């Protein structure tokens, strides 16, 4: 294993149409030692057969069935917990992310950054397509967190990020439903005063399948992690305690 190696975690739900070109671009783009973990919620997900048919016996690409429960947050948690490399990158199965950034994001983590964000809102970045309201909210949240909370990136809500695997396992992931993990881990890094950095990216809206982003249901959860990013430095114990309280409140909304 080289000094820098990366586990790429892809949460997927019935992405049998989109996953093939995504895997091709990832495998072609990465020059580091790597593994790709495609994580689904249940063994009948059509993504599993599509991956097996497409990659054949390539040992670098594996499929996993999460035992943590359904939803993207649980799939991402399961993937990270099964990652073999010191850097983990979360990217989507819909082809919206640019896999050519995986290497440079991983290199930032190698240099000491605990969260390296692919930023649509940094100079040189761009978002092409997508729902207008979702884009506007994401842009406002990202820029305000970057400017006011000084989190180290203008795109804390983007899921496409590289993480120090040890850092993620140290602070834990408390999200259980949506895609707010990127914001959660960025907020935790900020409250611990750990380094966060970003690189510009061009995000393209998916052309195959349909987004399952549940804006109305997930906004309250994003807002709680947004607020958590502001404030003085905390100890690891205090970050864990406060984030557990946020997670409990989020779960109570799902199961009152």
Which tens digits make up the pLDDT trace of 201-239? 999 986 665 656 566 666 888 899 999 999 999 999 999
Q: Report pLDDT for 134.
A: 77
Give pLDDT tens digits for 78-104.
Answer: 999 999 999 999 999 999 999 999 999
Annotate 103-128 with b (16+ C-beta within 10 A) or e (fewer).
Answer: bebbbbbbeebbbbbbbbbbeebebe
The CA-atom distances, in angstroms, between 98 and each of 127, 135, 160 are 12, 18, 9
Q: Report pLDDT for 57.
A: 84
Query: Which residues on adjacent β-strands are paired with residue 7?
Result: 35, 88
Q: Which helix (H) or strand (E) holds 33?
A: strand 33-40
Q: Report pLDDT for 212.
A: 60
| 3-state SS class at 115 | strand
Q: Report pLDDT for 177.
A: 80
Asked if 187 and 152 touch (Cβ cutoff 8 Å), the reply is no
Distance CA 239, CA 188 (A): 7
Q: Report pLDDT for 252.
A: 74
Report phi then psi at 25, rounded to 5.
-70, -35
Q: Report pLDDT for 186.
A: 98
Strands 126-128 and 61-65: unpaired
Range 5-254 classified under CATH 3.90.550.10: yes
Q: Which residues of the chain register pLDDT less than 50?
A: 1, 256
The closest of 81, 14, 83 to 42, measured between CA atoms, is 14
């Amino acid at each position: 294993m080289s000094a820098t190696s990366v586990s790429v975690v892809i949460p997927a739900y019935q992405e049998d149409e989109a996953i093939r070109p995504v895997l091709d671009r990832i495998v072609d783009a990465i020059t580091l030692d790597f593994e790709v973990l495609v994580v689904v919620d249940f063994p009948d997900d059509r993504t599993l057969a599509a991956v097996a048919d497409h990659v054949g016996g390539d040992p670098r690409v594996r499929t996993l069935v999460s035992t943590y429960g359904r939803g993207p947050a649980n799939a991402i948690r399961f993937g990270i917990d099964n990652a073999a490399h010191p850097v983990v990158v979360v990217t989507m199965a819909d082809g919206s992310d640019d896999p050519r950034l995986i290497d440079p994001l991983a290199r930032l983590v190698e240099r000491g950054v605990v969260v390296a964000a692919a930023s649509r809102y940094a100079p040189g970045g761009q978002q092409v397509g997508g729902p207008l309201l979702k884009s506007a909210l994401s842009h406002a949240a990202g820029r305000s967190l970057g400017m006011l909370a000084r989190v180290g990136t203008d795109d804390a809500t983007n899921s496409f990020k590289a993480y120090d695997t040890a850092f993620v396992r140290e602070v834990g992931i408390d999200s259980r439903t949506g895609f707010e993990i990127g914001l959660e881990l960025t907020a935790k890094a900020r409250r611990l005063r750990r380094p966060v950095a970003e690189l510009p990216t061009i995000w393209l809206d998916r052309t195959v399948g349909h987004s399952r982003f549940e804006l109305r249901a997930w906004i309250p959860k994003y807002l709680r992690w947004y607020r958590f990013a502001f404030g003085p430095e905390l100890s690891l114990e205090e970050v864990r305690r406060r984030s557990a309280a946020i997670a409990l409140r989020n779960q109570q909304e799902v199961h009152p």
